[in-house]
Structure 1
Amino acid sequence: MSTPIATPDTEQDLHLSAAPLEPWQVVVWNDPVNLMSYVVRVFRTYFGYSQERATQLMLAVHHEGHAIVATGPRETMEVHAQAMHDYGLWATVRRAPR
């Protein structure tokens, strides 16, 4: 004798909503290994930044110790951080301040 399969109550009204998308940031940190010109080239190649913007970000990394190079959904920022690691840069992902 088999047990009957339970069926969901289709009359029940479900209120499902996705969690709000919170912005996350990719932070690239200064290191003693990579040349400034290489960091500019990585920012231009990977993110498509102009020479001027890539240079500004590289100088922030150099002088301030870090720079926020991208902001967006967490999963995308994790992909970007991994790409920075693949280029040999030190990068982390953090939640953007509200």
Structure 2
Amino acid sequence: MSRPVPALADHGEGGTDVLSRPDLDLERDELTVADFSTPWLTIVWNDPVNLMAYVERVFRRYFGYPQGEAHRLMMLVHTEGRAVVASGPREEMERHVEAMHEYGLQATVAKDDA
């Protein structure tokens, strides 16, 4: 059974905080901490609708890739079925995926397990 996590500071009448509460066992209680160091990926997937030239143009316009890199990524999408086009914080990758959807491309966010 999970217990509610106490507030970090309890400035009620007693003026106590978490560190001075005897009812808490800080050695045993676990707090979930977000791991912001793990990069996330934006993956663009192949589809039967968009032309290769269009996908390359989207990569150049949106991500600012030079022509050679945009072409290489587009060819990965075409031949391998997908390409990682960006990596970074999750929120930024989600924005990239939304932008790819607005351009009509299929894209997803994935955690970088490497």
Please give the range of the TM-score, normalised by the shorter of the 2 chains.
Answer: 0.7 to 0.9
Gaps of 5+ in 1: none
Q: CA RMSD in A?
A: 2.0
Q: Does 1:27 align with 2:43?
A: yes
Unaligned runs of 5+ residues in structure 2 are 1-11, 21-32
Distance in 1 (alpha carbons) for counterparts of 2:111 and 2:59: 21
Listed as ranges, the matches of 1:1-98 within 5 Å are: 5-6=12-13, 8-9=15-16, 12=19, 19-98=35-114
Give the match's secondary structure for 1:97.
Answer: coil
Separation in 2, partners of 1:83, 1:43: 11
* Percent identity between the two aligned chains: 54
Instruction: Measure the CA separation in 2 of the matches of 1:92 and 1:8.
Output: 47
Q: TM-score, structure 1 length as denominator?
A: 0.83
Count of aligned positions? 91
Provide closer, same or farther for how the CA distance between residues 65 and 8 of structure 1 changes in structure 2, counting only shifts above 3 A: farther
C-alpha deviation, 1:97, in angstroms: 1.5
Q: How many angstroms apart in 1 are the aligned matches of 2:84 and 2:92?
A: 14
TM-score, structure 2 as length reference: 0.72
